Chain A
Amino acid sequence: MSVAVIFKWAYSPADAQVRSDGTLDLSRAKAAISEYDPVAIAAGRQLANDLGTDLVGLTAGPAGIDSPLMRKAALSRGLDRLFVATHSALEQANSTVTANVLAAALGREPEIAAVIAGAESVDDAAGQVPLTLAGLLDWPGLAGVSGIAVDGGALEVYRTGANRQETLRLTGPAVLAVTTNAVSPPVPGMKDILAAGKKPATVLDEAELGPVTCAQAVEVGRRPTAVPRREGRVLDGELAEAVRQAVSVIQEAGLA
């Protein structure tokens, strides 16, 4: 039995430069674990500890995704071992293909208690992969998970909505996408980073994963949409006066 965490190794948009035509220049961007995925890994670690099982990480991408830096970055965050699924179909990744490759890779893990995922990836920000994966595995898929507990061997999942707090009891494995603040991920220290280099990582390549045969939504065009201009207003004066001005600005804008 193990708990699995899926994570994305992605270029951070924070490092991207926007060209004058609105397209993104990623040439100076560094790849890293996608922003919200450390939360998923930390939630997975907690759950694996509670269940007394291994925590296995899984990422998918084209062959170039595998690097010692990626492995250490992931394994230093508390994974016991790592699967790296590489597939040429992921050169032009979309969420359906990604979920298919992840599902094929998870087939290598005999018994999984749950697959934990982050809220959304830092680059695509669509949040589709976990739920598509759940569908492919024929498991429940739950997004917006703010907490996971173990109760008598079964998993209890908490979800907090705008006006509700749900508790759900799972009768089998599920894919759980955790909220961005479900847990506070610890910062890996030198010991974790050094230990990461010694943990096992397995590459699953296209030959092992098989072809991706699903129908695909292929991107044929992308253009930036006009982002509404953000108005900046500097409010001068004493704090109390500045607050009064801020309130009236908000009211004038019809925001309150």
Chain B
Amino acid sequence: MEFNFTDEQELLLQSLDDLLERECSEQYIAELDAAHEPPTAFRKAMYDTGFLSLGFPEQYGGTPVDAVTLVLLAGRVARQGLNNGYGMELLQAMDILEFGSEAQREEILGLLAQGETPFALGFTEPGAGSDSSGLRTSAVHRDGQVVFNGTKTLITNALRSRNLLLMARDPAVSGSRGAISMYLVPTDAPGITYNQLDKVVWHTADSCEVFFDDVTLPESCLVGTKGRGFEQLMRNFEFERLVIASQCWGQAECAFHDAAAYAAQRQQFGQPIGQFQLIQQKLVDMAIKVENMGNLVLKTAWMLDQGLDLRTQGALCKRYCALSAFEVADDAVQIFGGIGLTNGARVSRIWRDTRGHRVGGGTDEIMVHIAGRQIVKAHN
């Protein structure tokens, strides 16, 4: 077994470190977080250096790359303390590159090149969260047009994106199979209104309820095959979980290093608090979790590269990393004491942001639901 990086990975990580130092300082991230702004300038720099098109097919100006390398990069950006800084756009764009029309591909790649968020994923509804089959937003195809009605909620980046990748059902088809399709819908289409949600996590991305009231668009907004939307979305879900897990890993590592450095210099009772065994125990447990997260993420990415089935592994990885990252961040806040609960401390932001990953992309419990069933089935 080989734990070393390849030369290419080593050099890419060095390049990324240089870029992070130049374009993604802690001050920059803290300012975005305070102003609730997305990291557009950083994304643009990532695009210009080719990082944002890594993994895209060559015919779209990208450079194919393996999943192990991608999660290393996603983890490294997250280690800077930036939430959702890398990986998600690529992931989303894959849906369009794979299933979209030529016009849709051009639109999305053009937006990526400008550092913009190409689209928001419109899946969750007030009545359909973990249970996606309960999705009610309707898409009625009539005379070359589609009419949308319904409500989506908790949609990340809805206000900042030019498009929504909308999941909607054909009311004429009963059940879920064959009913749900995927659409690329401009966010400024007449009949769409927004209600911004004031969430406590992920300040660099907005979250919204989105209302569709007889929104009428040409049928060319359909992505891929009618009635196959769910399968299309699922194709990249396991990869999404892996990217989320790698971000959790990076953020946890950031919180761990901050906490260890603070423990080494903060003096109480005449000595650095890092000398107290209770603090050391926290640091040791945090280090074990960070190490485990890295191993799980890299092994899962390797499995993806080998074309192995990820249903169980992806869920194990997402559950462990989201939960452990939050635990590490929580211990980091504890080590910082009161200052850790102020906005000036990076660990407080990581604590907030890692909490979001225990729900977004599938909850901790749903990961048990997915992996648990598989484990029992495999042993039956």
Contacts and interface: CB of A to CB of B under 8 A. Distances in A.
A69 B49 contact: no
Interface in B1-38: 7-8, 10-12, 14-16, 18-19, 22
Contacts of A197: 7-8
A32 interface: yes
A22 interface: no
A57 to B, nearest CB: 15
The interface residues of chain B, by DSSP majority, are classed as helix
A187 B19 contact: yes
Interface string A91-133: 0000000000000000000000000000000000000000000
Given A186-B49, A190-B63, A191-B63, A69 B18 contact: no
Interface of B: 7-8, 10-12, 14-16, 18-19, 22, 49-51, 54, 63, 65
Nearest to A192: B50
A76 interface: yes
**Count class of interface residues, chain A:** 10 to 19
Contacts of B54: 190
B46 to A, nearest CB: 10
Contacts of B7: 68-69, 72, 197
Contacts of B8: 72, 190, 193-194, 197
A186 to B, nearest CB: 7
Contacts of B16: 187
23 contacts: A68-B7, A69-B7, A69-B10, A72-B7, A72-B8, A73-B14, A186-B49, A187-B16, A187-B19, A187-B22, A188-B49, A189-B50, A189-B63, A190-B50, A190-B51, A190-B54, A190-B65, A191-B63, A193-B11, A193-B12, A193-B15, A194-B8, A196-B11
The interface residues of chain A, by DSSP majority, are classed as helix
Contacts of B18: 187
Contacts of B14: 32, 73
Contact of A188 (B11, B22, B65): B11
Contacts of B19: 187
Contacts of B63: 189-191, 194
Nearest to B50: A189
Interface in A34-83: 68-69, 72-73, 76
The 3 closest A-B pairs by CB, nearest first: A189-B50, A190-B63, A69-B7
B44 to A, nearest CB: 13
Given A187-B18, A187-B19, A73 B11 contact: yes
A69 B15 CA distance: 14
Given A187-B22, A190-B12, A191-B50, 17 more contacts: A32-B14, A69-B7, A69-B10, A69-B11, A72-B7, A73-B14, A187-B15, A187-B19, A189-B15, A189-B49, A189-B51, A189-B63, A191-B63, A192-B50, A193-B8, A196-B11, A197-B8
Contacts of A73: 11, 14
B10 A187 contact: no
Contacts of A69: 7, 10-11
Contacts of B22: 187
Interface string A179-204: 00000001111111110110000000
Interface in A216-249: none
Contacts of A188: 11, 15, 49
A198 to B, nearest CB: 12
